[in-house]
Amino acid sequence: MSVLKIESIADGVKKYLEQRIVTGKLKPGQQIKEQEVAESLGISRPPIREALKILEAEGLITRIPNKGAFVTEIEEKDIWEIYTLKTALYGLGTRLAFDRLTDSLVSKLDEITYRMKECIEQEPPDISRYQVLNEQFHDLMLDAADHGRLKKMAATLHNQVKRYSYRSLAERSHLQRSYKYHKGIVDAIKKGEKEKAAQLTEEHVLEGLKVLQDISKRGDR
């Protein structure tokens, strides 16, 4: 099998495992066995090893010598640290992006928020699709900021708590507030209100942290 073929399959395996981790099908601390994944997907083990290396680099997998690969466990303090850093990075990203946003990009942000609204109006709400749209929204902003290191750091942090972000969006009231924040950010951009757009971005991220802390207190984690 060529190196390119292995890398292509590894990318698919990575997305498969990431989705199972994010949606909670693979729990924190659960071992990921290469042979079981190979049998489940009908592939050889080399691409799986490559996928696990990528997931380890992103903080989703922890590999323990002589024991194997396990879904990373994150404590409450870890979540607090990651979300407070995300708040600062996303706020800075919005400020840097503000003067670079073209009419075309603003239209794209508008379209994304419209699709978000469609997701929350479904019964039940389409959380997976909403999360994809949420990522597209912030990726557009961070791309416009034109700060490569900021975007890379933000992506790494987001991947580490993506599974908890998914869980927080399962709270319907939070899902609705999340949509309102995104709509508010776009409205502020259209009005030329840079600080308001940045402030709403920061509040939006911290809202996610608050919801997760509430979930943790209820023992739902």
The predicted structure's pLDDT at residue 213:
83
The predicted structure's pLDDT at residue 201:
97
The predicted structure's pLDDT at residue 212:
81
Q: What is the pTM of this model?
A: 0.77
Angle subtended by helix axes 3-22 and 46-57, to nearest 10: 50
**Is the domain 3-71 a CATH 3.90.1150.170 member?**
no
CATH 1.10.10.10 range(s) for the chain read 3-71
Q: Which residues of the chain have pLDDT under 70?
A: 1-7, 216, 218-221
The predicted structure's pLDDT at residue 204:
94
* Cis peptide bond upstream of 46, omega within 30: no
The predicted structure's pLDDT at residue 128:
87
Class of domain 76-218: mainly alpha
The predicted structure's pLDDT at residue 219:
55
The predicted structure's pLDDT at residue 3:
45
Length of the chain: 221
CATH 1.20.120.530 range(s) for the chain read 76-218
Q: Rounded to whole angstroms, how far apart are CA atoms 172 and 150? A: 30
Q: Are 101 and 91 in contact (CB under 8 A)?
A: no
